[in-house]
A and B are shown apart, each in its own frame.
Chain A
Amino acid sequence: QQQVKQSPQSLIVQKGGISIINCAYENTAFDYFPWYQQFPGKGPALLIAIRPDVSEKKEGRFTISFNKSAKQFSLHIMDSQPGDSATYFCAATTGNQFYFGTGTSLTVIP
Chain B
Amino acid sequence: EAGVTQFPSHSVIEKGQTVTLRCDPISGHDNLYWYRRVMGKEIKFLLHFVKESKQDESGMPNNRFLAERTGGTYSTLKVQPAELEDSGVYFCASSRLDTYGYTFGSGTRLTVV
Contact = CB atoms under 8 A, between A and B. Distances in A.
Interface of A: 2, 4, 6, 32, 34, 36, 41-46, 49, 89, 91, 93, 95-103
A27 B6 CA distance: 32
Most buried by B among A32, A49, A98: A98
Contacts of A97: 33, 45, 48, 56, 58-59
A21 to B, nearest CB: 14
Given A32-B100, A49-B101, A95-B100, A43 B43 contact: no
B91 A43 contact: yes
7 contacts: A43-B104, A43-B106, A45-B104, A91-B43, A97-B48, A100-B42, A102-B40
B100 A93 contact: yes
A89 B44 CA distance: 12
B102 A98 contact: yes
A88 to B, nearest CB: 12
Contacts of A44: 43, 91, 104
B105 interface: yes
A96 B106 contact: no
A41 B44 contact: no
A41 B42 contact: no
A101 B42 CA distance: 5
A31 to B, nearest CB: 9
Contacts of A4: 42
Contacts of B4: 43
Nearest to A4: B42
Contacts of B103: 46
A90 to B, nearest CB: 10
Contacts of A89: 42-43
A2 B42 contact: yes
Given A43-B4, A49-B100, A95-B100, A102 B41 contact: yes
